[in-house]
Structure 1
């Protein structure tokens, strides 16, 4: 009985304390593509993605109903980071869904006119930012006034102490007349969140040096997929429960029992949480520690380079390439070393038997697209007489107008398709993950290379294949699978079968090396086809915005050299960053990784302007 009453009471008080209008809620998942287009159209930083923010604690005055229900502490806010614009995952501020959509639009417009908001200038910074946005885009004036008036009307219904009312009245005047309020009246706590304004960046945890046994891979040791939250969590460091820096007290008579001592930490549970992902979503903070018993460190991967006797064979000492420093907006000369390598244990092998039926189908389809041999008529020299040309010459001679150098021959020649394609496959450590219940990503990449090579060989196209991975800037591995001069056959199949997951994904250096190879091809159409499963990353500063900007710069250099880059990916978050790197129509997202081997040849036909 008590439990039933408690449940009903909880539902009642939560409903009474509820804020917002859930029936009019609008989700970022639905509005994201539109907002991204608007953000770039308004001259926003094209490198920024629009992502969901995490609710933050706001120490503000709460009504009695909120205090009874335990709600009103956390609020969804908007702010701008170095590489992303963070907005609430859903908006239900207004009773009309169209107003909530306009609120998303307004926050996006404000963010396009400002960098991160200074932490100590929240009131003045937002007022000036509103004025700057309205001055830049006067067409947004009606939208802002409507949103501000509706928000002020909703805020006026809140009952609060007198000192809180004075501050709230000043905030409302600042909303209705931006720039009119130099400061807020003093009052305890923080003001109730303002949905139309941007907020400073959340506090970051203090930086700690990387642990000695932390390889920084960030890879999961499990065989399943890792679900990535679209929200960004705040973190805080906590002390390790196995801290050994304290004073140790022992009794001498316990000395003989040390041989039986087992260092078990009774305060920790090493069992896996069945619903750990949902628990992480519900936490206010994610606690970070260096405890060796965490889930991520139970299985350690040694990412040190193998010995020379076990590693792939380096073909040269490598080539130095520049790298783009987006903060300084300049190239760092000779900053990245790309080393061409050949698989050590690769031996000639036939196409895997399970792929042969599909390979036969692809070969038949591409053989029909081979350049056909045609007869060139009315030639000065040739192998056979052109009867039509001879009859025409005889008639012209009877009329007295025949040429002194008649073209009476015909010869057979093959049409030439002036195209070169370089396939660049991502062989980073993440390809060891499972794409589905029966396929690893590296298996999908191997099968794709096998089948695409069979198709291109049947069509007599000029193509090459390489793979890449990296371990910092001085060791970018560029694996030779097939160069333009080598024939397709068992040797290449053997190399593909020996491809293994490498290290990290320093795309910029690999793209520059591929560009140099294609630059030497005189073909009219040169295609760079990149197969990947994730965004650029490496152990050093190549994470985040740095890696994205360097990759984008490398792709711009490729386009200037007359090369057409195109990306095929199985990364389900690719839509957040690939339009910025490759362009809207220059990438293809594959929803089911197992479909990649069969879809890739069809995609190649579309890219080269042919149909099967």
Structure 2
């Protein structure tokens, strides 16, 4: 009973102290899609991820009720950087759901406007508001309505000490008449947060790649909001070895605060309740000490020995890579190594695939070239009897000009297209779907069924697979070239595919583009099969990998190719529209259906 009373008392005090309207709350998760559309429509960077903002600490002059409830220490405010646009996870400040939603819309519009580089947060926000309202006058009424309610939420100047009151008057004046206040007066405490403005990015002394998921898991350009926040961190020189991962008592539980020296900024494995553990932490410690990396736990994937690896075809091909930060190519930055399965044996089609394969062969055989006779030709292989009889009649009747087209010629109808299928065989394809079948197994079945269908239609096609281990070793597995027949040897190579390493997608697409460019067909299709976003051990993470892949796709389009992506990644719609375009990808919601869906997608592409 005492516990229940205490809980209800805490709930009541907190609700009174916050001064919010939870019944009118609006969440970023529900508003993410229209906010993303608005942000891009107003000229915002389409590569930015829309994610939730972590709370910021403020040293405010709090009232007694705030101190009693322990509130008003942290606030979720809007800000943006090169990677993300961060907005509050939930807004319930105003007594109307429409007003709370309008605040989201205003913040997205403000973030889409050009960012001044003066470095003065106070004047920069006034400039952005002025420019936004000048460019889009229709937002004036929305802004004034938000200002009116924001001023009611803020503390009254008469309740503050002289210096803080003077500063609060300046902020109010800047909100009502943007651009009218040149500087912000100083005071002992932090000013009350200005919820209508964008705040500077958090301290960059600790890089985002070391303390957050920004460059590894949050890159969903223009997509839905992800509830992944940056964490507060401190940088330390090194960790004491005695403070590593160890158990010495029952109460010594594992958590993110304990340190394991590994040679990666992030770990791909998922820990149960890891995010909840991080949310409970006040501070994370980050160290660049690498002395113990090789002696403890190593997540890096070493390459197999020469005798156990696939055959290397040639010394390797050097390809460029797009660096979006510098807005330039890094010439000969990646080394692509063509590979051929060493121990692949000729194989028959697996028994479960034979029945659907026969159905596809009957369906696709209708597409193969047919012989057609063209009549009344000046030259040809045979005489056209109908034309000859008609000429004889004209001669006997002594008519005027006599038709000299007395032959017929056989012409073969041809589908003027070629297709290159590029499959992702990175380590993530080792994962299971439906607890009994691996992603790589589904991909292999899809490649075999598609090959059976294309061999029946006689469309020229090639098969390749790729994975990578940093930029100097991008593995490009040769399965079938355009000039090779689809035989048991090709089936054996498909069945020999195994998961491994990472996904440097841009490099593989560039090599596939080169191969397709050498074809003479009019229509050239680059069909990419993948289960996730681009990534690798080095800097090829997050937006860097997304931007390089996008540039590689644009290069393929400029070369006259049709790139199309087929994926089973549930979050693909968050980044693939930016990479491939809204009509050049498809998400297979049920991965087990990939083998049967793949030939159907090919038919739709080639109609």
Structure 2: unaligned runs, 5 residues or longer: 218-224, 256-269
Distance 1:590 1:289, change over 3 A: farther
Shift of 1:165: 4.0
Distance 1:288 1:579 in 2: 35
- The match for 1:155 is 154
C-alpha separation in 1, matches of 2:434 and 2:66: 45
Structure 1 pair 158/209, CA: closer, same or farther in 2 (3 Å)? closer
TM-aligned CA distance change 1:27 to 1:82, over 3 Å: same
Cα offset for 1:423? 0.8
Larger deviation: 3-12 or 465-474? 3-12
1:230 equivalent in alignment to 2:227: yes
Match runs of 1:428-577 below 5 Å: 428-577=426-575
Residues 393-404 of structure 1 correspond to what in structure 2 (within 5 A)? 393-397=391-395, 398=397, 400-403=399-402
Aligned equivalents of 2:40, 2:142: Cα separation in 1: 19
Q: Distance in 2 between matches of 1:107 and 1:531?
A: 37
- Give 2:4's aligned residue: 4
Matched, 1:25 2:9: no
* Residues 419, 525 of structure 1: 8 Å contact kept: yes
8 Å CA contact retained: 2:247, 2:253: no
Residue 253 of structure 2 corresponds to 269
Runs of 5+ unmatched residues, structure 1: 211-216, 220-227, 247-262
Q: Is the 8 A contact 1:325 1:546 kept in 2?
A: yes
State TM-score, norm by structure 1.
0.85
Counterpart CA distance in 2 for 1:235 and 1:105 is 27
The alignment partner of 1:234 has SS state of coil
Q: 1:578 to 1:391 in 2, by over 3 A?
A: same
Deviation at 1:342, TM superposition (A): 0.5
The alpha-carbon deviation at position 78 of structure 1 amounts to 1.0
Distance 1:209 1:322, change over 3 A: closer
CA distance in 1 between partners of 2:209 and 2:305 (Å) = 28
Q: How does 1:52-201 map to 2 (within 5 A)?
A: 52-115=52-115, 121-155=120-154, 160-163=159-162, 164-201=164-201
The 3-state SS of whatever aligns with 1:371 is coil
Counterpart secondary structure, 2:548: helix
Select between 197-206 and 496-505 the one with higher mean Cα deviation.
Answer: 197-206
* Cα drift, residue 131 of structure 1: 1.5
Deviation at 1:204, TM superposition (A): 4.4
Per-residue deviation, 1:264: 5.6
CA distance in 2, matches of 1:541, 1:533: 20
**Conserved? CA contact 2:157–2:166, under 8 Å:** no
Q: Distance in 2 between matches of 1:473 and 1:334?
A: 10
Structure 2 CA distance for aligned equivalents of residues 10 and 193 of structure 1: 25
Match of 1:214 in 2: none
Provide the secondary structure at the position in 1 that maps to 2:376.
Answer: strand
Q: CA deviation at 1:384?
A: 5.2
Kindly indicate whether residue 349 of structure 2 is the aligned counterpart of residue 365 of structure 1. no
Q: Distance in 2 between matches of 1:209 and 1:599?
A: 38
Residue 585 and residue 157 in structure 1: after superposition, are their counterparts in 2 closer, same or farther (change >3 A)? farther
Could you list the per-position Cα deviations for residues 198-257 of structure 1 after superposition, in whole angstroms to 9, with x for gaps in the alignment? 0111234636999xxxxxx989xxxxxxxx9632221425889982489xxxxxxxxxxx
8 Å Cα contact 2:463/2:480 also seen in 1: yes
Count how many residue pairs are aligned between Structure 1 and Structure 2.
Answer: 573
CA deviation vs aligned residue, 1:281-338 (integer Å, no higher than 9, x gap): 554555557999xxxx997555111111111111111111122222332222222211
Task: Please name the residue that 1:410 is paired with.
Answer: 408
Partner SS, residue 353 of structure 2: helix
Q: Do residues 311 (structure 1) and 309 (structure 2) align?
A: yes
Contact 1:117 1:199 in 2 (8 A): no
Provide the C-alpha distance between the structure 2 equivalents of 1:519 and 1:98, rounded to a whole number of angstroms: 53
What is the CA-CA distance between 1:50 and the residue it aligns to? 2.1
* 1:16 equivalenced with 2:16 (yes/no): yes
Deviation at 1:416, TM superposition (A): 0.2
Give the 3 Å change call, closer, same or farther, for CA 474–185 of structure 1 in structure 2: same
